[in-house]
Amino acid sequence: MYPHERSLVKKLESKPFALIGVNSDTNREQLKQAMQREQITWRSFWDGGSTQGPIATQWGVQGWPTIYVLDHKGVIRHVNVRGAALDQAVDGLLKELEKEDKPRS
């Protein structure tokens, strides 16, 4: 998913959008190397080296990767969308936000 995530981050760099990753790999040093190699420029948290780490537990993650798309209020609006469906979900939320931000006449 890294290539798609990279393109999404680049495409939306001037928009109110943030990609946040959570990783449960056991070897933190190998993870850091992989992040450099894969050009991960977005914030990514390490969940203690376990698939039952505190972040995964709090968010109820059952499988990897799990994708949550939140709106600007922090409400989960989409779960486990990928590819074009992920793009559509994000674009739709950005359009909703633009409508809210437009001054009313």
As a whole number of angstroms, the distance between CA 15 and CA 87 comes to 13
Mean pLDDT of the chain: 93
Closest CA to 17 of 99, 91, 103, 101: 91
Q: Let me know how long the chain is.
A: 105
Q: Which pLDDT tens digit goes with each residue over 69-90?
A: 999 999 999 999 999 999 999 9
Determine the average pLDDT of the residues in 25-51. Answer: 94
Q: What is the residue extent of each domain of the chain?
A: 1-7+18-61, 67-99
Determine the average pLDDT of the residues in 45-61. Answer: 93
pLDDT of residue 62: 87
